[in-house]
Amino acid sequence: AARANLSGEPWYVGWSTCYDEESRRLRQYYDRPYFLPRTSESDTIDWIFMGGPGQGAHMHVDSVRRVSWQAQVRGHKRWQLAPPPECLYTCRALALTVHPGEILVVDTNRWYHMTRVLPGDLSITIGAEYD
């Protein structure tokens, strides 16, 4: 397999589809996760996140409509999840590493989260919302 050239400036980018046609094209390259109920609906917004080692997203909460799944295609990404304020004293923070081929399902509207690409390779993640 080809290796990414990671010797330049550090970078991390997230991109989302804005139009139905873009989503249809992107979805030609991956299948809906097998564990999602057939009756669940997917939103028309899909995401792609890419970046080099040490890069990622700072702690934040999203403003999206539904729960999402994030599939790690390449590289390894470390996630840190912090509970929403109403659960702060009863829920624990979580830290986990997502490896290629693994999928994380999380309500990024409620759980604060940050990510970091781990050393070794470029990270590529795809995701979408569903209900």
Question: Would residue 2 count as lying in a domain?
Answer: no
Q: How far is CA 72 from CA 19, 23, 86, 95, in A?
A: 23, 18, 30, 16
Query: Looking at the 3D structure of the chain, how many domains does it have?
Result: 1
What pLDDT was estimated at residue 98? 98
Q: Do the Cβ atoms of 29 and 113 come closer than 8 Å?
A: no
Which range of residues forms the domain containing residue 115? 12-130
Joined tokens for residue 68:
């999402």
pTM: 0.83
Task: Please report whether residue 107 resides in a domain.
Answer: yes
Beta bridge partners of 60: 113
Please report, for the domain that includes residue 120, its CATH number.
2.60.120.650
Q: Compute the mean pLDDT over every residue in the chain, rounded to the nearest whole number.
A: 87
- pLDDT tens digits for range 78-90: 999 999 999 989 9
Tell me the C-alpha distance between 2 and 29, whole Å: 19
Q: Does position 46 have pLDDT exceeding 80, yes or no?
A: yes
Is residue 4 assigned to a domain? Answer: no
Identify whether 1 is part of a domain.
Answer: no
Q: Cβ distance 61 to 109 under 8 Å? A: yes
Q: Is residue 37 part of a domain?
A: yes
